[in-house]
Amino acid sequence: MDSDSMDTDIVEVNTAKQSMNKADVTGTDDESNVPWIEKYRPHTFEEICGNEETTARLAVFAQTGNMPNLILAGPPGVGKTTTILCLARILLGDNFREGVLELNASNDRGIDVVRNKIKLFAQKKVSLPAGKHKIIILDEADSMTEGAQQALRRTMELYSSTTRFALACNNSEKVIPPIQSRCAVVRFGKLSDAQILDKVMSVCALEGIEYVNEGLEAIVFTAQGDMRQALNNLQATFHGFGFVNSSNVFKVCDEPSPLMVQEMLEFCKDGKIEEAYQRLSYLWKMGYSPEDIVGNIFRVCKTCKFPEYLKLMFIKEIGMTHMKIADGLGTFIQLTGLIATLCSVNRGDE
């Protein structure tokens, strides 16, 4: 019953927005199988949250009806692909289907693909209104081989009168300089916790999900500014347990429980090494990797209600340990050393 009304909702939304690419997929397929990241992917600029300046810049291209070659750089799950699809939808309208080629990391994107698929599409005749260009979207362009990028640069030059490229990547430095200089670079930052919470709450309302507030806090905590992760974790928790509370979320995400880490830090603050050690060794025995543990300690510490000087000293020590672990010293003794230092930090100051 519930999901029936949801189906019609979605179909309505899709037709209203004239979404050309996913409308028939989401409209006819079994709705319950659609990942929420697709189901709730924004179709217009207004729906995209965060990175206002960047989206505003891109919206200008939509208004003028012309876009340069683009590099969209930023961390995963913040809306790079979504934004470029929105832009393409506005620019190409009814021609979206034949005018856009999207290649993501699951497609092989070696030099052959650039020589064949991309070139063929660039050469293809598509009748577009005057002044419009075909758009080739390359996701995760920074993972393309250098050879493929060199070939791409040539293709970009040759077909510049008919085709525009939009390259999404995590790190724009990994795109070869000749391509960088042919593109306008727009940067995306992580989304804020408030923005993630906002979206997660609206999805909860639309899906009729039961939750408690700390459950949503846990989703936001585990997402770390990545909307894709947030929606996936929400869906996984809901499908696995039917109810969103923090322990369910941490079970699904398989992260060290921040509550336990928080307790551990409290004990460190009070100089109680025995108790702190107990928590740490419990986490270790659960099989979490040293990176996970130290990363989690840092994130929890950031949000702890400790006096500021103490927090800063803690974070400094945690950072030192993180560095050692990143260097390859991911041993239990390093973590134990960390809590020993943390325990002494406060004592020394008293």
Give the binding site for ligand ADP (CB under 6 A): 37-38, 40-42, 48-50, 76-82, 168, 191, 199, 227-228, 231
Residue type, 120: L
Q: How far is the CB of 332 from ligand ADP (least distance, A)?
A: 35
Nearer to Mg ion, 139 or 226 (CB): 139
Contact between residue 273 and residue 336 where contact means Cβ atoms under 8 Å apart: no
Q: Which does 231 bind (CB under 5 to 8 A by kind): ligand ADP, Mg ion, none?
A: ligand ADP
Q: How far is the CB of 88 from Mg ion (least distance, A)?
A: 14
Q: How far is the CB of 82 from ligand ADP (least distance, A)?
A: 3
Residues in the chain: 350
Q: Which of 300, 333, 332, 337 is nearest to 315 (CA)?
A: 300
Residue type, 184: A
Contact between residue 345 and residue 317 where contact means Cβ atoms under 8 Å apart: yes
Q: How far is the CB of 44 from ligand ADP (least distance, A)?
A: 11
Q: What's the CA angle centered on 104, arms 130 and 291, to 5 degrees? A: 140
| DSSP assignment of 93-110 | GGGHHHHEEEE-TTS--S
Q: How far is the CB of 46 from ligand ADP (least distance, A)?
A: 10
Nearer to ligand ADP, 50 or 256 (CB): 50
Minimal CB distance to ligand ADP: which residue? 79
Q: Which of 83, 7, 42, 87 is nearest to 231 (CA)?
A: 42
Nearer to Mg ion, 67 or 85 (CB): 85
Nearer to Mg ion, 67 or 294 (CB): 67
Nearer to ligand ADP, 36 or 267 (CB): 36
Cα–Cα separations (whole angstroms), residue 184 to 45, 167, 179? 19, 10, 10
Q: Which does 50 bind (CB under 5 to 8 A by kind): ligand ADP, Mg ion, none?
A: ligand ADP
CB count in 10 Å sphere of residue 158: 13
In the three-class reduction of DSSP (H, G, I as helix; E, B as strand; rest coil), residue 138 is classed as strand
Q: Give the containing element (helix H, strand E) for 296.
A: helix 290-303
d(CA 231, CA 223): 9
Stretch that binds Mg ion, among 60-68, 80-88, 115-123, 199-207 (CB under 5 A): 80-88
User: 253 forms bridges with which residues in the sheet?
Assistant: none
Nearer to Mg ion, 81 or 229 (CB): 81
Nearer to ligand ADP, 223 or 252 (CB): 223
Q: How far is the CB of 77 from ligand ADP (least distance, A)?
A: 5
User: 165 forms bridges with which residues in the sheet?
Assistant: 136
Q: Which does 48 bind (CB under 5 to 8 A by kind): Mg ion, ligand ADP, none?
A: ligand ADP
Q: Which does 257 bind (CB under 5 to 8 A by kind): Mg ion, ligand ADP, none?
A: none
Q: Based on the shown chain and the rule CB under 5 A, indicate whether residue 163 belongs to the binding site for Mg ion.
A: no
Nearer to ligand ADP, 67 or 342 (CB): 67
Nearer to ligand ADP, 38 or 291 (CB): 38
Interaction mask 299-338, Mg ion, x per CB under 5 A = ----------------------------------------
Stretch that binds Mg ion, among 31-39, 93-101, 133-141, 310-318 (CB under 5 A): 133-141
| DSSP assignment of 169-182 | ES-GGGS-HHHHHH
The pair phi, psi for residue 324, each rounded to 5°, is -60, -40
Residue 188 burial class via C-beta count within 10 angstroms: exposed 0-12, middle 13-18, buried 19 and up: buried
Q: Give the containing element (helix H, strand E) for 68.
A: none
Q: How far is the CB of 216 from ligand ADP (least distance, A)?
A: 16
In the three-class reduction of DSSP (H, G, I as helix; E, B as strand; rest coil), residue 219 is classed as helix
Q: How far is the CB of 28 from ligand ADP (least distance, A)?
A: 19
Minimal CB distance to Mg ion: which residue? 81
Q: Based on the shown chain and the rule CB under 5 A, indicate whether residue 81 belongs to the binding site for Mg ion.
A: yes
